[in-house]
Amino acid sequence: MSYNVKDLMRRRNEIMKKSVGLDYDSFEDEGIGFDYEAMMAHSDYSLEAIEHIQSEDMVGNTPLVELKNLTAYARKFSAKGKGARLFLKDEASNLSGSFKARRAAMSIHKAKQLGYKGVIAATSGNYGAAIAALAAKHGLKCIIVQECFDSKNVAQPEILEKARACESYGAEVVQLSVGPELFYTFLHLLDTTGYFNASLYSPYGVMGIETLGVEIVRGIRDVAGKDPEMVIATHAGGGNLTGTARGIRRMGANTKIVGASVNLRGLHMASDQDFNKKSFTTGHTGFGIPFATNPDRSDVPRSAARPLRYMEDYYIVNQGSVFFITEALSTLEGMERGPAGNTSLAVAFKLAMNMPEDAIIVVQETEYTGAGKHHQPQLSFAQKNGIELLFGDPSKEVPGKNIIFPSSANKIHVEHVPLDTLRKTYLKRFKDQKLTDKDKAFLQAELRVDASQLDALLSENSERR
């Protein structure tokens, strides 16, 4: 595939604007900020309209399952009166098998409404399958661009499984090696086909997840007569957490929003050497940290996924603990589900041990599993790549070198990440800029802090220079 990289990058915003049907410039403010809420409201979809669109596409209204056996298991390791009730929103019931179908339903609806003949998405994951399935349902052409191989032409089993799913729905899958080639090829295809950019980070994609938050609150109110104390969302690019939180806030629920990612610190996501040393293709710190601290690094000029606007706590969990809870969910609850949702389940299980018995934690999503997505092929692939599999102390796990399964459920290892650490990283981009009052007001909303907290964070960054 031949294209001129410099020309593509020079015309990047023009290509993006044409492919999303949204004039991002109209939301820009003077200085560093933009009107986020105006951008989200621009499409003018009511909650009822979104729910109707999704319902027509066999999306949404998924089961809310109380994990009674896992709750009882957590209480075995809890002090008297502790051990919160665990619930799971079973998003594997959606068309295509994940919560990403909620995003895809809105993107495909918008593409059809605006008269595009086809859609393109850059994703190695479940979103590609969701876009492909719904494009097929609505008679649109579909191209999925995947970062798939290392330089030795070796691909991860989970990514190959997702490619198979996309192709089964009739999509064309363009598979590329790790590196910047993905974005350049994506831009080139948008430019030459004139297709709709079904971005994960458009307002349409994120607003599609708001129904998930709404359904969680409705469901818990129905079964418990109150709001959940906590909802935990697996965090990668930020849209999952952002959309769910917005839906929860729509319902007026005073629920704590918590993010969870797999700890892959030390592995570089764009490194050919590291690409096949990770056992998770999403929901990990390689996406979770950079997308929280620089959300506009996405494939649209302004991302609708702004996790630091909503996240109230953040935890990372080691790979072995996620595989452990994946097995526990299968053997104790009879639910065989994929790895991403089990990231937040591992964190929920650990936190439940120290919360009151009458408290409720909702794990916000599951995904389908099978073939390469199943944890056994992932672990076999890890061994082939020289990763040592051990039982023991998960806190000793070193991403890229070993995977350590907890020897007991009470040893599941989660680590708290102070949000101020992420906020200070976010602010580093502006360390040499003179910020106006309007800039600071934008940053307060972005980072969910007041004026004095923002000044303190800016001062700390300045002192470290």
Mean pLDDT, range 356-374, rounded to an integer: 91
Task: Say if residue 446 is in the same domain as residue 381.
Answer: no
Q: Which residues of 419-454 are buried (b: 16+ CB within 10 A; e: fewer)?
A: beebbbebbeeeeeeebeeebbbbbeebbbbeeeeb
Q: What share of the chain has pLDDT > 90, as a percent?
A: 83
Other CB atoms within a 10 A radius of the CB of residue 297 amount to 11
Task: Say if residue 373 is in the same domain as residue 443.
Answer: no
pLDDT at 441: 98
Task: Say if residue 211 is in the same domain as residue 285.
Answer: yes
- Integer-rounded Cα radius of gyration of the chain: 21
Long-range pairs for 48-54: beta carbons < 8 A, 24 or more residues apart: 50/106, 50/207, 50/208, 50/210, 50/211, 51/211, 53/105, 53/106, 53/109, 54/101, 54/102, 54/105, 54/106, 54/208, 54/211
Task: Say if residue 454 is in the same domain as residue 340.
Answer: no
SS3 of residue 252 by DSSP:
coil
Task: Say if residue 326 is in the same domain as residue 451.
Answer: no
Write the secondary structure of 148-205 as one string of H (helix), E (strand) and C (coil).
EECCCCCECHHHHHHHHHHHHCCCEEEEEECCCHHHHHHHHHHHHHCCEECCCCCHHH
162 has a pLDDT exceeding 80:
yes
Domain membership of residue 425 (yes or no) is no
Task: Say if residue 364 is in the same domain as residue 399.
Answer: yes
Q: Mean pLDDT over all residues of the chain?
A: 95
Mean pLDDT, range 282-305, rounded to an integer: 94
Mean pLDDT, range 43-71, rounded to an integer: 96
The position carrying tokens 């596409």 is: 57
* H or E element that contains 11: none
Each residue's pLDDT tens digit, 80-102: 999 999 999 999 999 999 999 99
463 has a pLDDT exceeding 80:
no
pLDDT at 167: 95
Domain membership of residue 31 (yes or no) is no
pLDDT at 156: 85
Task: Say if residue 304 is in the same domain as residue 439.
Answer: no
Task: Say if residue 443 is in the same domain as residue 353.
Answer: no
Residues with Cβ within 8 Å of residue 384, at least 6 apart in sequence:
none
Domain membership of residue 21 (yes or no) is no
Domain membership of residue 71 (yes or no) is yes
pLDDT at 465: 57
pLDDT at 424: 97
Task: Say if residue 450 is in the same domain as residue 374.
Answer: no
| Domains in the chain, number | 2
pLDDT at 8: 92
Alpha-carbon distance 169 to 150, whole Å? Answer: 26
Residue 178: pLDDT band (50, 70, 90) is confident
Mean pLDDT, range 343-351, rounded to an integer: 98
Query: What's the CATH code of the domain at 407?
Result: 3.40.50.1100
pLDDT at 16: 86
Mean pLDDT, range 385-405, rounded to an integer: 97
Residue 464: pLDDT band (50, 70, 90) is low
User: Residue 268 sits in which domain range?
Assistant: 59-95+206-416
Domain membership of residue 100 (yes or no) is no
Domain membership of residue 184 (yes or no) is no
Task: Say if residue 412 is in the same domain as residue 445.
Answer: no
Domain membership of residue 310 (yes or no) is yes
Task: Say if residue 437 is in the same domain as residue 412.
Answer: no
pLDDT at 97: 94
DSSP symbols for 113-127:
HHT-SEEEEE-SSHH
Task: Say if residue 291 is in the same domain as residue 398.
Answer: yes
Domain membership of residue 302 (yes or no) is yes
429 has a pLDDT exceeding 70:
yes
pLDDT at 399: 96
Each residue's pLDDT tens digit, 86-142: 999 999 999 999 999 999 999 999 999 999 999 999 987 899 999 999 999 999 999
